[in-house]
Chain A
Amino acid sequence: MVSNLENNTTSPHASNDSSGAVLSVKDLSIALPKNADREFAVKNVSFDVAPGEVLCLVGESGSGKSVISYSIMGLLANALKVQEGSSIKLQGEELVGATEDHMRDIRCTRIGMIFQEPMTALNPVMTCGEQIDEVLVEHTKLSASERKEKVLAMIEQVHLPDAARMYDSYPHQISGGQRQRIMIAMALILEPVLLVADEPTTALDVTTQAQILHLIKELQGDRKTGVLFITHDFGVVAELGDRVAVLKQGELLEIGLSSQVLMQPQHAYTKMLISSVPNHTPPERPAIASDAPIVLQTINLVKKYVNSNFLFGKKAVIAASDVTLEIRKGETLGIVGESGSGKSTVARCVTRLIDISDGRVLLSGDDIARVPQRNLRDLRRKVQLVFQDPYRSLNPRRSVGQSIVEGPMNYGKSKAEAWQKARELMELVRLDPDGLDRYPHQFSGGQRQRICIARALAMEPELLVADEAVSALDVSVQKQVLELLEEIKDRMQLAMLFITHDLRVAAQICDTVAVMSEGKVVEYASAEELFSNPQHSYTKSLFEAAPGRGFKFAREV
Chain B
Amino acid sequence: MWSYLLKRVLAVIPVLLVVTIIVFLMLRLTPGDPAANIAGDAATTQDIEKLRIELGLNEPLPVQFAIYVKNLAKGDFGESFYYKRPVISMVADSVEPTLSLALFTIFFACLIAVPLGTLAAFKQGSWLDRIVMAFSVIGFSVPVFVIGYILIYVLSVKLGWFPVQGYQHIGDGILGWAYRLILPSMTLSVIFIALIARMTRTSVLEVLNEDYIRTARAKGLSQSRILIKHALRNAAVPIVTIIGIAIAILISGVVVTESVFVIPGLGLLTLDAIQGRDYPTVQALIFLFSVVYVLINLIIDVIYTLLDPRIRY
Instruction: Name A residues whose Cβ lies closer than 8 Å to a Cβ of B.
Output: 73, 75, 103-109, 112-113, 115, 117, 120-126, 134-135, 138-139, 170, 172, 183, 186-187, 310-311
Contact = CB atoms under 8 A, between A and B. Distances in A.
B221 interface: yes
Contact of B234 (A123, A135, A172, A186): A123
- The contact size tier of chain B is 20 to 34
Given A104-B220, A107-B219, A138-B220, A75 B214 contact: yes
A40 B215 CA distance: 26
A109 B4 CA distance: 45
Nearest to B237: A125
Contact of B211 (A105, A106, A115, A172): A115
Interface in B232-282: 233-234
23 contacts: A104-B222, A107-B220, A112-B218, A113-B218, A115-B214, A115-B218, A121-B214, A121-B215, A123-B233, A124-B308, A125-B234, A125-B307, A125-B310, A126-B229, A126-B233, A134-B216, A134-B219, A134-B221, A134-B225, A138-B221, A183-B215, A310-B4, A310-B7
A172 B218 contact: no
Nearest to A135: B219
B3 interface: yes
B37 to A, nearest CB: 50
A125 B234 CA distance: 7
B153 interface: no
A109 B219 CA distance: 8
A133 to B, nearest CB: 11
Q: Is the interface of B mostly helix, strand, loop or mixed?
A: helix
B234 A107 contact: no
B230 interface: yes
A75 B217 contact: yes
Given A123-B234, A124-B234, A125-B233, A107 B217 contact: yes
Contacts of A75: 214, 217-218
B309 A172 contact: yes
B58 to A, nearest CB: 48
B219 A123 contact: no
A138 B225 contact: yes
Nearest to B216: A123
Contacts of A121: 211-212, 214-215
A50 B210 CA distance: 32
A125 B309 contact: yes
Given A117-B211, A310-B3, A172 B219 contact: no
Interface string B189-221: 000000000000000000000111011111111
Contacts of A122: 212, 215
A124 B3 CA distance: 25
A172 B310 contact: yes
Contact of B309 (A115, A124, A135, A310): A124
B215 A123 contact: yes
A122 B4 CA distance: 29
Q: Which 8 A-B pairs have the closest CB atoms?
A: A107-B220, A120-B211, A123-B212, A113-B218, A170-B309, A108-B220, A121-B211, A104-B220
